Structure 1
Amino acid sequence: MMFGDLRRFDIGRPQGLDWVRQLMDEVFPEGGPADIRSVPRGSFPMINVGRTDEAVRVYVFAAGLSAGELDVSLQDNVLTVAGRREPAAEEKAQQTHFRRERPHGEFSRSVALPDGLDIERAEARFRNGVCEIVLPKREELKPRRIEVQAS
């Protein structure tokens, strides 16, 4: 038998509903898109967007880049982060790669932002490979507490 040696390896079969979990892990691997609005795995740079009562905060994870290598722009409530990432020194060497997960080349990511942001007061800070972009909300859109007075 041509494949007789394969029977020597006990691969094990999933028990109970474990096979469903295994199948789901194959279809939706861990680290893949969190929901239907997420970008495909491997998108660069990765971005987190959150909000507080005061501002919308965008975190751009750009390890290996400097502040000058990022171009951050905002037009019509769409924030765009673009730039170019050069290949690492070992990637430039003539060698055979079996797997390469560090992306290089030009990149661009865009995020739609909500209305009501005070774009004139926007700030961006870069530290330890993370660019934090703070977009304050306009004063009239911030939540206010209304004092209830006894009559």
Structure 2
Amino acid sequence: MYRSLFPGDLFAEFDRLQRVAERLSGSAGSLRGYERGGFPQINVGGTQEAIDVVAFAAGLDPAKIEVNVERGVLTLSGERPTDLPADLKQAATHQNERYTGKFSRAISLPDDVDPERITAKYADGLLLIKIQRKQAMQPRRVAIQ
């Protein structure tokens, strides 16, 4: 029989290596999770009529969020301020779970969306973006003259 290079669960070994790396670097995260910088978190879905993007953007000023569509890519960008009192900004941080700073998210769109028919609305900490799909080409009869 062959001996396994990783006895036991392979993911348990990854988790052990991650804990070692966290102790050495002082950072936290998950090898199986999303990379840092994925702010705001988004959900993308759709129907036959439209693509829906929901960005979880609580605490952001909607006037300072930019939504752009160019060459089939939807881009959300802006900045999330620290909003901490001055005395806490100087304190040493041991764990930081709230993302602050500049952000940019890019979402590839399918070919059948119409970039001229997009709406964005901010309500209750959610940025709701709807991009209508192009009208499907309907067969039509051509009259012979």
Provide TM-score, normalisation by structure 1: 0.67
Alignment of 1:112 with 2:108, yes or no, is yes
Q: How many residues align?
A: 118
Shift of 1:66: 2.0
Secondary structure, aligned partner of 1:118: strand
Change (3 A) 1:80 1:42: closer
Q: What is the match of residue 138 of structure 1? A: 134
Larger relative strand fraction: 2
Shift of 1:83: 0.5
**In 2, Cα distance between the equivalents of 1:30 and 1:22?**
9
Task: Encode CA deviations 1:46-99: one digit per residue, 9 max, x unaligned.
Answer: 111111111011111111102112100000010000001111224753212111
The answer as to whether partners of 2:74 and 2:106 remain within 8 angstroms in 1 is: yes
Shift of 1:22: 6.7
Alignment of 1:86 with 2:81, yes or no, is yes
Alignment of 1:124 with 2:120, yes or no, is yes
User: Where do 5+ consecutive residues of structure 2 fail to align?
Assistant: 1-7, 19-28, 139-145
Shift of 1:105: 1.4
State which structure, 1 or 2, has the greater radius of gyration over its C-alpha atoms: 1
Moved over 4 A (4+): 27-31
**In 2, Cα distance between the equivalents of 1:124 and 1:90?**
32
Using the aligned pairs only, state the percent identity.
34
The answer as to whether partners of 2:43 and 2:55 remain within 8 angstroms in 1 is: yes
Task: Encode CA deviations 1:4-47: one digit per residue, 9 max, x unaligned.
Answer: xxxxxxxxxxxxxxx628707826949714xxxxxx14521111
Q: Report the more deviating stretch, 131-140 or 20-29.
A: 20-29
Q: What is the match of residue 68 of structure 2? A: 73
The answer as to whether partners of 1:56 and 1:136 remain within 8 angstroms in 2 is: yes
Q: What is the match of residue 51 of structure 1? A: 46
